[in-house]
């Protein structure tokens, strides 16, 4: 039993953190929003160059073949900068799904290509227009099509960096790939969106802390007032207790049993609750500034909102936890229990 990250993982997270910190600044977000862009080519190029799109891809598909625990750290750092580019869905979910079906697919040979995924869990497909290809679902089978082989209808999202579409397509215009593991794709997406949520949450708190140290009212910084402190402390408590759940879910996802699915669901629920709570606390602490387009907190709120309802609603995920509770033994010796051991 060792519930700590190893040095390699910490180094990895650090690399991602500094890359994002340099390239994903508020100035960048503003410029992209004004231009109506969801992808910054220069930033995407540096992400690709650093190898972040290859982390979870298996070695037989030209990837680095690391595990979900490693990619979750990157997703968390991506959340900290509310990364506009579809790194999580493309490199964390769609590409490994494609690789499991066709490890030699030419798309996988291009680490810069993004792949969108039309998973049955979601009515709207994110970033389908800019994707090199879209992974499509029909009765458990997977198909691949380019955006011009399908009909995309834009469904604008409140999140300026999320471009959503409904997709109409026919199997004649797509390449059949066979039965895909949609469940694993779903669990990965849920997990990485949870990790992303942790990043969103921490940044929302950090932005508010910075503001609360500067902004003065009644002759002192608002951060010295207890009501302000307590908003942020409460948000931080929620974050601290979502972190180990995300870490455990990432470590266990490969087990693919009732307990592992419940952990992933638990992670998705609490990490995005933390993001929502932190974003709302942050808006409150910023006062009217927090309600303005000018201050960036709304980006964190909006992404939290979007991710909360996609890849399984909280009710859906709660039901998976209920299944774990009511079909498996509970109790203090069951924290790390596996379905196979209890069979």
Partner 1 sequence: MDLTYTPEQQAFRAEVRAWLEAHVPSAPLEHFDATREGFEAHRQWEKTLKSGDWGMVTWPREYGGRGLDLIQWLIFEEEYYRAGAPGRVNQNGIFLLGPTLIEFGTHEQKQRFLPKMASGEEIWAQAWSEPQAGSDLAGVRATATRDGDDYILNGHKIWSSRAVFADWAFGLFREPGSERHKGMSLIFFPLDAPGVTVNAIKKINGHVGFAEIFLENVRVPAFNRLGDEGQGWHICMATAGFERGLMLRSPARYQVAAKKLAALWQAHKETADPALEADVVRAHMNADAYALNIYQTASRLMAGAKIGPEASTNKIFWSELDIHLTQTALSILGPQAELTHEAPDASPVDWIDDYIFALAGPIYAGSNEIQRNIIAERMLGLPR
Q: Which of 246, 247, 234 is nearest to 278 (CA)?
A: 234
Q: How far is the CB of 58 from partner 1 (least distance, A)?
A: 20
Which of 138, 209, 215, 316 is close enough to bind partner 1 by CB under 8 A? 209
Q: How far is the CB of 226 from partner 1 (least distance, A)?
A: 7
Which single residue is written with the structure tokens 């959503």? 164
Q: How far is the CB of 160 from partner 1 (least distance, A)?
A: 28
What's the CA angle centered on 105, arms 86 and 54, to 5 degrees? Answer: 45
Residue 341 tokens read as: 């051991």
Binding range to partner 1, per CB under 8 A, among 45-53, 103-111, 128-136, 242-250: 242-250
314-343 positions binding partner 1, by CB under 8 A: 318, 321-322, 325-326, 330-336
Identify whether the C-beta of residue 290 lies closer than 8 Å to the C-beta of residue 284.
yes
Pairing of strands 141-145, 125-126: unpaired
Q: How far is the CB of 320 from partner 1 (least distance, A)?
A: 10
Residue 13 interacting with partner 1 (CB under 8 A):
no
Q: Which of 197, 248, 228, 261 is nearest to 4 (CA)?
A: 248
Residue 311 tokens read as: 């890849």
Q: How far is the CB of 208 from partner 1 (least distance, A)?
A: 9
Cβ proximity to partner 1, 248 vs 304, nearer residue: 248
- Cα–Cα separations (whole angstroms), residue 80 to 59, 86, 202, 203: 28, 14, 7, 5
Residues that bind partner 1 (CB under 8 A): 1-6, 69, 205, 209, 212-213, 220-221, 223-224, 226, 228-230, 232-234, 236-237, 240-245, 247-248, 251-252, 266, 269-270, 318, 321-322, 325-326, 330-336
């Amino acid at each position: 039993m060792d519930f700590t990250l190893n040095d390699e993982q910490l180094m990895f997270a650090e690399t991602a953190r500094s890359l994002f910190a340099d390239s994903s600044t508020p100035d960048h977000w503003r410029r992209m929003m004004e231009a109506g862009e969801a992808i910054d080519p220069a930033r995407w190029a540096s992400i690709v160059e650093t190898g972040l799109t290859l982390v979870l891809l298996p070695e037989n598909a030209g990837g680095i073949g690391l595990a979900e625990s490693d990619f979750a750290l990157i997703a968390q750092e991506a959340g900290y900068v509310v990364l506009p580019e579809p790194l999580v869905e493309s490199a964390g979910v769609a590409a490994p799904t494609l690789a499991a079906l066709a490890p030699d697919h030419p798309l996988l040979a291009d680490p810069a290509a993004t792949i969108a995924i039309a998973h049955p869990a979601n009515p709207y497909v994110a970033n389908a227009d800019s994707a090199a290809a879209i992974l499509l679902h029909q009765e458990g089978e997977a198909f691949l099509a380019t955006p011009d082989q399908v009909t995309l209808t834009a469904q604008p999202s409140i999140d300026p960096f999320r471009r959503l579409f409904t997709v109409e397509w026919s199997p004649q215009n797509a390449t059949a790939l066979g039965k895909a593991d949609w469940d694993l794709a779903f669990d990965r997406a849920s997990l990485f969106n949870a990790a992303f949520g942790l990043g969103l949450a921490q940044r929302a708190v950090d932005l508010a802390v910075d503001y609360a140290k500067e902004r003065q009212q009644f002759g002192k910084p608002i951060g010295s007032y207890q009501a302000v402190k307590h908003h942020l402390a409460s948000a931080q408590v929620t974050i601290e207790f979502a972190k180990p759940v995300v870490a455990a879910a990432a470590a266990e996802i490969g087990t693919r049993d009732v307990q592992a699915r419940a952990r992933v669901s638990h992670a998705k629920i609490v990490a995005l609750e933390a993001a929502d709570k932190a974003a709302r606390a942050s808006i409150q602490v910023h006062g009217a500034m927090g309600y303005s387009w000018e201050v960036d907190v709304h980006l964190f709120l909006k992404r939290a909102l979007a991710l909360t309802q996609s890849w399984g609603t909280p009710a859906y995920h709660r039901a998976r936890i209920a299944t774990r509770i009511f079909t498996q033994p509970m109790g203090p010796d069951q924290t790390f229990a596996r379905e196979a051991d209890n069979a």
